[in-house]
Amino acid sequence: MTRVIADISMSLDGFVTGPNPGIDNGLGDGGEALHTWALHPDPVDADVLDEAVAATGAVIMGRRLFDIIDGPGGWNDEMGYGADRAAEPPVLVVTRNPPEHVRLADRMTFVVDGVASAVAKGVSIAGDRDVVIMGGAQVIRGALDAGLVHELRLHLSPVLLGSGTPLFAGGVPRRFRQVHARPSGQATHVTYLVI
């Protein structure tokens, strides 16, 4: 069975970006520290990345994240899904307004009828592999609220950002069961089953 996994890096104070994120400041002020584990992995982090990339059959993201990834400082031949693994699973972008110009057009499909439709399309593409919702926070919250997610994977980076984009702000109350925790020198990788 295909699993739908929400997978995102988060600060200890609950933010998935620092303040002032944008096309020219992707993860916001100080937010690059969230991905130190992926960009400069130790052996545990490399293992986590390798396992996730190998299991991924489709990726879902929101429009804001897409704009950063498709921007001049975004993904390229050396950097993509899975950091420097630059894997190229099909990517579904949830948006009401697809852009006119797409730099990474060969990797992206735009879904204009919501996150549930994107998940259904991802499941049909992924086969027996995972569908990974990699962000941003709004898309992950929407998928959780709609009951579309089987697992939540958080990569807790040892940083306090003070403000930025919170992963959990409002939303439907939900319980999780922790099934795995794996510390590295740069993050704690935690997996929860959605109850």
pLDDT in tens, 7-36: 999 999 999 999 999 888 889 999 999 999
Asked if the model's pLDDT at residue 86 lies above 80, the reply is no
Could you tell me how many residues make up the chain? Answer: 195
CA distances to 21, 90, 112, 114, 143 from 172, in Å: 25, 29, 23, 18, 11
pLDDT of residue 183: 98
Farthest-apart Cα atoms in the chain, separation: 42
Asked if the model's pLDDT at residue 83 lies above 90, the reply is no
Percent of the chain with pLDDT over 90: 78
pLDDT in tens, 138-172: 999 999 999 999 999 999 999 999 999 999 988 78
Compute how many other C-beta atoms are within 10 angstroms of the C-beta atom of residue 38.
Answer: 21
pLDDT of residue 103: 86
Most confident of 39-53, 95-109, 166-180: 39-53
SS3 191: strand
Write down the mean pLDDT value for the chain.
93
CA distances to 59, 70, 113 from 120, in Å: 12, 24, 11
pLDDT of residue 187: 98
Q: Which residue has the higher pLDDT, 140 or 72?
A: 140
pLDDT band at 101 (very low <50, low <70, confident <90, very high): confident
pLDDT in tens, 48-61: 999 999 999 999 99
pTM of the model: 0.94
In the chain the domains, ranked by start, together with CATH numbers, are 4-194 (3.40.430.10)
